[in-house]
Structure 1
Amino acid sequence: MVRKVTRTPLFLYLGIFIAAMSLVFFILHKSVKNIPCANTLSCKESLELSVNNDEQAVFNAEKIDPPKIDLLASSEEKKVLGIESSTGDKHIYVDLGTQTLKAYEGETLFLETKISSGKWFPTPTGDFKIWRKVRSTKMSGGQGADYYYLPNVPYVMFFSNSVVAGSRGFSLHGTYWHNNFGHPMSHGCVNMRTIDAQKIFYWTDPPPNEDESVPTENTPDVLITIYGEAP
C-alpha cells in the first residue's frame, strides 16, 4: 500500500511568514515610539532659535542665571575663533563609556573633550547626522524635584537618524548649569563645555546663517557616532 504524503499548503507558509514579519515590525515600531524626548516639555513645543535674556534657569531645584545671548555679536565669533568650516570629511565620536568626545577632520584630531551624557534618560547610540543648528534655544522637562527649565542653551546641534527622529530633540550643546563633565548629567543630550560646543558649532557644516542653519542636499555630512554604555 502506498502511503499518501500530506503536504502543507504553500499559502499556510506564506501566512506564517507574514504574521512573523508583522510581529517584528510591531516590536520595532513600539521600541522606536518608546524612545523618550531628550527634553520632555520643550521638544513638544519648539526646537527653534530662542533667546530669553530676562529669565532664570532651574536645575536640580536651584535657580541659575543663564548667560546673556547677543545675536548681533555672534556673527563675529567665527572670525575671532579663526575656525573655517570646510568640505573635508568630518566625524565626531562620542564614547559613552569614557564620557569623551573626539572630533576628526580626516585623520586629524580637531578636538577632544569630556562630556556628560544621559543620566535620567539614556543618550541614544548609533550613527547620526546634524539636522539643525541654532545659536541658542530653550530646554525644559521633568517634573517635581526633577523639573528643569533652561533658557539660552548655547550652541545647539540637533542630531537624528532613521530610528531617532529629529523631533525628539537630542543634541550636542553647551552647558552652563553644571561643571561635572566626565559623568552622566543630562536627560539624553550630550552636554559639553560651552567653549568646546562653540568650537564644534562653527566647525561643523552647515555654517550658521543668521544664528540658525539647516543642511541642504549640497551640505557635506558630518557624521556623529555615539557608542558604548554610560557608567
Structure 2
Amino acid sequence: MTSLDDLLTTFYTAKWQVTPGQAIYYREIVGNAFGLGSALFGLRRSALAWPVGIVGNVLLFTVFLGQALGNDQGTPLYGQAARQVFFLITSVYGWWRWRRNSRTTHGAAVTPHWASHRQRLVLIPGALAAVVVCFLVFRGIGAGFPVPWWYYLADSWIFVGSMLATYAMARGWVEFWLCWIAVDLVGVPELLHFGYYPSAILYAVYAAFVVWGFLVWLRISRAERPRVSGTLPAPA
C-alpha cells in the first residue's frame, strides 16, 4: 500500500523532461494554479484568497530554488523564492484581517480604496531602498552562479514589488493591482530567460487578469466611497 510519504515524494519529483538539460516540474504548474485561484478569490474580495495562495507559495518556493535544492530545472531565482516566504507571512496577516472584516461588516472582506499621500511618501522611498539592499544581498548569495548583474536587479524588484503588492492587498489598497502589473513586466521576461516556462505563461495570463482586477476594484472604490454606515455589499 502506498504511503503518504511515497505520494508526496512522487509528486515532488514528478516532472516533464523537455530536453536532456531542461525539465518542468509539475509542482510548478500546480503551484501557479493555486496562485491564480488566490487572485480570483482576491478579485471577489473573499478571505479564501489567502489560504489558497499559501498552498501555491509552498510549492513555488521549492521550485524557484532550482539547483540550490538539487533540482535540474535551472538557475535558482532567490528573489522569486524569497518572496514566497514573505507571502506566507503576509497571507496570515491578510487572512486574519479579511476574516475580521467579514465578521464585522457581514459582507465583503475589504473595501477597496487608494492609499493616502502620507502612506505613499513612506512606501515608495522605502521600496527603492529595499531594492538596493536586496540587490546587494542576492548578488552576494548567488556569487557562485554565472548570471548577469541585471538578474539580481530584476529579482530584487520582483521580491520588493511583490511584498508591496501583497501588503497593499491586505490593506485593501487599489494600488496593489498596479504593483502586480509592474512586477509582471519584469517577471515574465526573467522567467522565460531562465526556462521557468509554466510560471512565465501564467504570469502573462495573470498580467491581463490584473488589469481587469484593477478596473473592477477602481469601480468598487468609487461606488462605495460615499458609504458612511460601514455596511458593505456582498461580493459580486
Q: Could you tell me the TM-score, scaled by structure 2's length?
A: 0.26
Higher relative contact order (CA 8 A, sep 6+): 1
- Give the greater-gyration-radius structure (CA): 1
When you count helix as a share of all residues, which structure comes out higher?
A: 2
Q: Which has the higher strand share?
A: 1
TM-score, structure 1 length as denominator? 0.27
